[in-house]
Amino acid sequence: NAGVTQTPKFQVLKTGQSMTLQCAQDMNHNSMYWYRQDPGMGLRLIYYSASEGTTDKGEVPNGYNVSRLNKREFSLRLESAAPSQTSVYFCATRGATNEKLFFGSGTQLSVL
Amino acid sequence: SQKIEQNSEALNIQEGKTATLTCNYTNYSPAYLQWYRQDPGRGPVFLLLIRENEKEKRKERLKVTFDTTLKQSLFHITASQPADSATYLCALAPYKLIFGAGTRLAVHP
């Protein structure tokens, strides 16, 4: 039982390049989230998906797009990476509104 | 705007003592509050949830209080151990969880 799996674990991009961060969960949860974590800033919500087929913006959505491919998978895409997007990205899932989040191990992204 | 504040400075304590971490919030009335632990290079892991109508919640050596009048939660670790060293995050909101920046705890032998 893997829980929440994120790929890749590390990535270095040049400014302007694009990439997709992948997230898959085997917990049969409806809700999935993408956060970024920067030093001193805490976790900030980028996008979330309440259920398959729906997505909504979080606190810092600019420069990102998401796809809820099916119940298991929720991907985050950077169309034109910028140095300001250098961060650690976490995917998380939750079964119900008042329950805890389960996090993946994160993707460390550097944009040069 | 909604704001969550946790002590940005690291908390250093001696093994065996009680660690107390603070989470203050403004411009929000959360239905519940959660605490997470995060180790370096890892994702946060859930520890405790406390609802607005609960004053206190305990789990083994952990205790959380929630004062909706003061808009504050306190997180206590009793009989602390070096293995408790980590960053602790508080989070608010019934749906779109809003996280504080976290407080790093270092427990020294």
Tens of pLDDT, residue by residue over A8-18, are: 999 999 999 99
From chain B, the residues in CB contact with A48 under 8 A are 96
**Of A68, A48, A69, A43, the residue nearest A58 (C-alpha):** A48
CA distance B62 to B68: 20
pLDDT-based confidence at residue B15 (cuts at 50, 70, 90): very high
pLDDT tens, residue by residue, B67-93 = 989 999 999 999 999 999 999 999 987
Query: B8: which chain A residues are within 8 Å (Cβ-Cβ)?
Result: 40
Alpha-carbon distance values, A102 to A69, A93, B28 (Å): 19, 5, 24
Report how far apart the first and last C-alpha atoms of chain B are (Å, whole number). 41
- The closest of A91, A93, A61 to A75, measured between CA atoms, is A91
> Looking at the partner chain, which of A44, A45, A103 has a beta carbon nearest the beta carbon of B44?
A103
Which of A43, A48, A49, A91 to mutate to test binding with chain B, by most B CBs within 10 Å of its CB? A43
Q: Rounded to whole angstroms, how far apart are CA atoms B58 and B79?
A: 14
- What's the pLDDT tens digit per position in B19-73? 999 999 988 778 889 999 999 999 999 999 998 889 899 999 999 999 989 999 9
Q: What pLDDT, on the 0 to 100 scale, is given for residue A65?
A: 97
Q: How many CA atoms lie within 13 A of A109 on its CB side?
A: 32
Please tell me if residue B42 touches chain A, with a CB cutoff of 8 Å: yes
Residue B18 DSSP class: P
pLDDT band at A1, cuts 50/70/90? low
Binary contact (A42, B4; C-beta < 8 A): yes
| Spatial separation of the C-alpha atoms in residues A92 and A101, rounded to whole Å | 6
Preceding amide of A61 cis, omega within 30 = no
* C-alpha distance from B31 to closest chain A C-alpha (Å): 9
Residue A85 three-state SS: helix
- Residue indicated by tokens 């389960």: A102
